[in-house]
Chain A
Amino acid sequence: MSYLALERLTKAYGGVLAVEALDLTVARGEFISLLGPSGCGKTTTLQMIAGFVEPTSGRAMLNGTDLFGVQPNKRGLGVVFQSYALFPHVTVAENVAFGLEMRGVPRAEREQRVKQTLDLVGLSGLADRYPRRMSGGQQQRVALARALVIQPAILLLDEPLSNLDAKLREEMQTELRAIQRSVGTTTILVTHDQGEAMALSDRIVIMNKGRVEQIARPDEAYARPASAFVANFLGKTNTLPAKVVNEGGRHVVDIAGFRLPAPGRSPAGPVTVTVRPERISFVDDSALGVRGRVQSRVFQGTHWLFHIETELGALIVLRQNDGAAVPLEGQDVCLAWGENDLLIEASRGV
């Protein structure tokens, strides 16, 4: 049974649809990410759930009640903002206690719960600090504690980690996930960082121009992207124009002369083919592959990134740094991939 259900949620600004008929069901305790480029409607969706933005149409059912019939300050949702939005004029403890105060929780219990929550986010000794005197990472934890202490029905995170530096962001991701697991709060995260979405979520909602492109588990969405947009947005990929032809009863995908048997159910006609850079391998026998020359190779620690000029156009290739020799810049190479490494989509004239 779904815990939160968004039904044809729509927001229009003037004639522009920021979010178009979004359907999403979330199970209790699930961690969902809304992922997409800026302007894709992910933040608007979050703000409609939180009540900061009025939806144009659609429903949001939380545990059987319509959220949009409830005042934003009565919805009992925890929100963490990109800017943290801490109250600068009161201490950390008072920041965290605010939501409990609004609920009329007695002082003794309030203090105890504030202390517990600050322990949970690792800020035990800093209760009497003022937010201004804390680092970005610490302020982030205060914001999380303030949202969690009210035991929200849903935790809404709006790009919470994007103001942190890369290393701290990774640490906070791990910690955020651990905290969410231990507390079990249903969580919706808005992010434009695909790595973050894949690392944290049970499922990802990939959005583009106000529409949902795909809702899937991170590994599923990566392996079987529903569209070229998803393939491009989730990790690097190579996109090639091609066509699917019927050759004696068999479908064959023809990428500028390089032919492979097409996977079943491939649409005939012009198609867009995507192939992940890590699925392309270097082969010795030039008869079986795509010929090209290494334009550049970039060492990235765990792997090498190659830019290769081929007969089909420029391709990127990733090679695991497993100690084996790799081609040099300027070297002629031959590339190959299997039919299962291809994702084929009918051309939309993109």
Chain B
Amino acid sequence: MTVNPKLTPLLLSGPALLVFIGLVISPLVMTALLSFYDWGQYKGIVAEFTIKNWHEVIADGYYYEIFGRTLRIALFVTLITVLIGVPEAYILNRMTPRWRGVFLLVVIGPLLISVVARTLGWALLFGSTGLISQALLALGIAREPVDLMFTETGVVIALTHVLVPFMVLAVMAALQRLNPDVENAAMSLGASAFTVWRRVVLPQIVPGILSGSVIVFALAASAFATPAIIGGRRLKVAATLAYDEFLNTLNWPLGAAIAMILLVALVAIIVGSNRLIERRYAQVFE
């Protein structure tokens, strides 16, 4: 049997494409459609075209606050993972292979623990009678009990903990592509260790930092379990908000609108910052 060679790529990718359309695209399209349905306390979901869900989210300051908080948390988590993850990856990369293996396991450890167990562990540490608070009191750093539960700081700490591995892995991949002689070359030309790092190493691993940041930002902005446990009802983010609309209020169309706005905002922010950084560091992206 002969097949038109032009069709070969399509046929080969066909099965994967079908799965992708069935499991990703169609639920997304259905959610998008759902966001235009009507809903009422007593009538439930009605198949009537309306933009009132979108209008409500965009017009009400309550939602602005939640979306603002979501982006703020995601931004801080991304910044902190960059600050922690990049030096961590650099140090790991310079270790002997044996120790690198051991410490890599330590670094990706948080990913190996169930999200519920890990987050409840943080909850134990965060409370006003928790370990962190008591330690700060005992050391005289804090005068009153420090309660990190239901605070943005708490959510940022817990999310950073679990998302740092993604940054470390992305940056390490970039570091491994570097020519080790280049650092020596810069040193022989008179650069101090810090200058070598800032002028030679850092610019070359920008692509790695960027891809790590994209992953971390997207995961932090759409995280559900951690903000749900640490932030609770008091401190809603977009994901927990959509969840509450779906399962508590049962206002599916409004939940769908929130989910879609989160998706669109994430894609816009990620694509935009990608463009910006790729233009700035055009030479290392080739």
Tell me the A residues contacting B by CB distance below 8 Å.
50-52, 72-79, 81-83, 85-90, 98-99, 102-103, 130, 132, 146-147, 150
> Of all chain A residues, which has the CB nearest B191?
A102
Query: Are B188 and A88 in contact (CB-based, < 8 A)?
Result: no
Contact-residue size bin, chain B (C-beta under 8 Å from the other chain): 20 to 34
Residues from chain A with a CB closer than 8 A to the CB of B200 are: 87
A-B contact pairs, 7 of them (CB 8 A): A50-B184, A52-B184, A73-B187, A79-B184, A83-B181, A99-B189, A102-B191
> Of all chain B residues, which has the CB nearest A158?
B181
Q: How many angstroms between the C-alpha atoms of A82 and B182 in the bound complex? A: 11
Q: B106 interface residue, CB < 8 Å from A?
A: no
Query: How near does chain B come to A333, taking the closest CB pair, in angstroms?
Result: 51
Tell me the B residues contacting A by CB distance below 8 Å.
179, 181-182, 184-192, 195, 199-200, 203-204, 281, 283-284, 286
Q: How many angstroms between the C-alpha atoms of A50 and B192 in the bound complex? A: 15
Checking B182, B192, B203, B286 against A73 with a beta-carbon cut-off of 8 angstroms, the contacting residue is B192
Query: Are B190 and A81 in contact (CB-based, < 8 A)?
Result: no
Counting chain B CB atoms within 10 Å of each CB, the highest count among A51, A90, A102, A150 belongs to A102
Query: How near does chain A come to B146, taking the closest CB pair, in angstroms?
Result: 43
Query: Are B188 and A75 in contact (CB-based, < 8 A)?
Result: yes
Q: How many angstroms between the C-alpha atoms of A86 and B184 in the bound complex? A: 11
Query: Are A98 and B179 in contact (CB-based, < 8 A)?
Result: no
Query: How near does chain A come to B173, taking the closest CB pair, in angstroms?
Result: 17
> Of all chain A residues, which has the CB nearest B189?
A99
Residues from chain B with a CB closer than 8 A to the CB of A74 are: 190
Residues from chain A with a CB closer than 8 A to the CB of B179 are: 83, 85
Query: How near does chain B come to A54, taking the closest CB pair, in angstroms?
Result: 14
Residues from chain B with a CB closer than 8 A to the CB of A50 are: 184, 188
Q: How many angstroms between the C-alpha atoms of A146 and B195 in the bound complex? A: 17
Checking A88, A102, A130 against B189 with a beta-carbon cut-off of 8 angstroms, the contacting residue is A102
Q: How many angstroms between the C-alpha atoms of A99 and B192 in the bound complex? A: 11
Q: Give the A-B pair count, Cβ closer than 8 A.
A: 68
> Of all chain B residues, which has the CB nearest A47?
B184
Residues from chain B with a CB closer than 8 A to the CB of A103 are: 190
Residues from chain A with a CB closer than 8 A to the CB of B284 are: 88-89
Query: How near does chain B come to A211, taking the closest CB pair, in angstroms?
Result: 26
Query: How near does chain B come to A330, taking the closest CB pair, in angstroms?
Result: 52
Query: Are B190 and A87 in contact (CB-based, < 8 A)?
Result: no
Q: How many angstroms between the C-alpha atoms of A154 and B15 in the bound complex? A: 63
Query: Are A88 and B283 in contact (CB-based, < 8 A)?
Result: yes
Q: How many angstroms between the C-alpha atoms of A4 and B134 in the bound complex? A: 63
What are the 6 closest A-B residue pairs judged by CB atoms, nearest first? A102-B190, A99-B189, A85-B181, A85-B185, A79-B188, A81-B181
Residues from chain B with a CB closer than 8 A to the CB of A98 are: 186, 189, 191, 199
Checking B184, B190, B203, B281 against A150 with a beta-carbon cut-off of 8 angstroms, the contacting residue is B190
Residues from chain A with a CB closer than 8 A to the CB of B182 are: 85-88
Query: Are A79 and B281 in contact (CB-based, < 8 A)?
Result: no
Query: How near does chain B come to A171, taking the closest CB pair, in angstroms?
Result: 24
Q: How many angstroms between the C-alpha atoms of A41 and B184 in the bound complex? A: 19
Query: Are B204 and A73 in contact (CB-based, < 8 A)?
Result: no
Residues from chain A with a CB closer than 8 A to the CB of B189 are: 73, 98-99, 102, 146, 150
Query: Are A89 and B188 in contact (CB-based, < 8 A)?
Result: no
Checking A83, A89, A132 against B281 with a beta-carbon cut-off of 8 angstroms, the contacting residue is A89
Also in contact, A73 and B190, with CB within 8 A (given A88-B284, A89-B284, A90-B283):
yes
Query: How near does chain B come to A63, taking the closest CB pair, in angstroms?
Result: 18
Q: How many angstroms between the C-alpha atoms of A88 and B179 in the bound complex? A: 10
Q: How many angstroms between the C-alpha atoms of A86 and B179 in the bound complex? A: 9
Q: How many angstroms between the C-alpha atoms of A327 and B286 in the bound complex? A: 58
Query: Are B187 and A89 in contact (CB-based, < 8 A)?
Result: no
Residues from chain A with a CB closer than 8 A to the CB of B283 are: 88-90, 130, 132
Query: Are B188 and A78 in contact (CB-based, < 8 A)?
Result: yes
Checking B185, B195, B286 against A79 with a beta-carbon cut-off of 8 angstroms, the contacting residue is B185
Counting chain B CB atoms within 10 Å of each CB, the highest count among A50, A76, A87, A146 belongs to A87
> Of all chain B residues, which has the CB nearest A156?
B188
